[in-house]
């Protein structure tokens, strides 16, 4: 698919020509397209109606750059019939390089919106010393992104969470939340008016890192939460890294398990009617006493 034409989207300009990179690129594009199709992320529209519009959230990290590039690749080749609007929410973090993303998006010809909201000051004021910032920071960010999506007429907020994010969230809920749950590839927000999509759901974090590094995208680290030690997610990531090192491919096996749930072999009576489960005794002989 990717080699049928010499035309490329500007986001892929200067891409390495090595066989290894081409395989990486094809794998990421294929897995993203599979997730979009498998979870029904493209809404059906009536003939003549405008295309759905997606707000593609861009943090400046490796995952969001990979998401942005792959979605534009699919759109460029006529495989994703949606309108894409990139969005970066500048949360007022100290030393955030505010010019990097606008300049990058302008250079690449990507439609975008840059929004400034000082949620950093709110987080620093509300979170007690020694506690992690992630939960409040995430809520404030998500609320602003929903608002922006509505203002821009978008039907979906699109996030760059990948396979490893989904696995880590599952184990965080398992170890600390007492529930079997994770980030779904597709959901509707609490207000019911917006979809939330994760098209990179099948893509490994290592592939995102290799891709963004090879493309030399201007990565912006998250210094707010990345500077905190002992976060639950970092602990879970270390556990998964250890399992993967001892048994390569373990992450993918665990991810497949999330796609192969068997409610009758778990313990939640809300998902399976254990009380109503009956034996089939028809045709069997009665036990003699």
Residues annotated within the binding site are: 134, 137, 225
Three-class DSSP labels, 166-211: HHHHHHHHHHHHCCCCCCCCEEECCCCCCEEECCCCCCCHHHHHHH
Residues paired with residue 89 on neighbouring β-strands, in sequence order = 115
| Both structure tokens of 244 | 């993967």
Annotated binding site for [4Fe-4S] cluster: 134, 137, 225
Return the closest-CA partner of residue 94 out of 120, 117, 114: 120
**In whole angstroms, what is the distance from residue 276 CA to residue 87 CA?**
50
Q: Are 154 and 53 in contact (CB under 8 A)?
A: yes
Residues comprising the chain, all counted: 289
Q: Are 15 and 8 in contact (CB under 8 A)?
A: yes
Three-class DSSP labels, 105-131: HHHHCCCEEEEECCHHHHHHHHCCCCC
DSSP 50: P
Which H or E element spans position 160? none
Return left, alpha or beta for 78; rule: phi > 0 is left, psi -120 to 50 is alpha, else beta: left
């Amino acid at each position: 698919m990717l080699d049928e034409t010499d035309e490329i989207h500007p986001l892929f300009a200067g891409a390495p020509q090595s066989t290894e990179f081409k395989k990486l690129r094809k794998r990421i594009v294929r897995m993203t397209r599979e997730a979009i199709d498998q979870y029904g992320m493209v809404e059906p529209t009536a003939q003549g109606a405008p295309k759905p519009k997606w707000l593609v959230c861009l943090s400046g990290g490796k995952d969001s750059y990979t998401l942005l590039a792959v979605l534009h690749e699919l759109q460029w080749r006529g495989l994703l019939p949606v309108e894409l609007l990139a969005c970066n929410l500048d949360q007022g973090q100290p030393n955030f390089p505010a010019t990097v993303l606008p300049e990058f998006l302008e250079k690449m010809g990507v439609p975008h919106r840059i929004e400034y909201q000082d949620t950093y000051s709110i987080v620093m004021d509300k979170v007690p010393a020694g506690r992690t910032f992630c939960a409040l920071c995430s809520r404030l960010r998500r609320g602003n992104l929903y608002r922006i999506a509505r203002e821009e007429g978008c039907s979906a907020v699109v996030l760059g969470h990948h396979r490893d994010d989904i696995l880590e969230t599952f184990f965080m809920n398992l170890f600390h939340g007492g529930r079997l749950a994770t980030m779904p590839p597709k959901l509707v927000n609490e207000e019911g008016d917006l979809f939330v999509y994760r098209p990179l759901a099948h893509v490994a974090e290592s592939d995102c890192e290799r891709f963004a590094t090879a493309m030399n995208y201007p990565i912006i680290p998250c210094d707010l939460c990345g500077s905190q030690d002992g976060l639950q997610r970092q602990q879970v990531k270390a556990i998964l890294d250890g399992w993967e090192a001892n048994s390569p491919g373990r992450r993918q096996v665990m991810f497949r398990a999330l796609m192969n749930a068997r409610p009758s072999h778990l313990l939640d009576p809300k998902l399976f009617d254990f009380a109503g489960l009956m034996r089939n005794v028809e045709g069997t002989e009665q036990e003699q006493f």
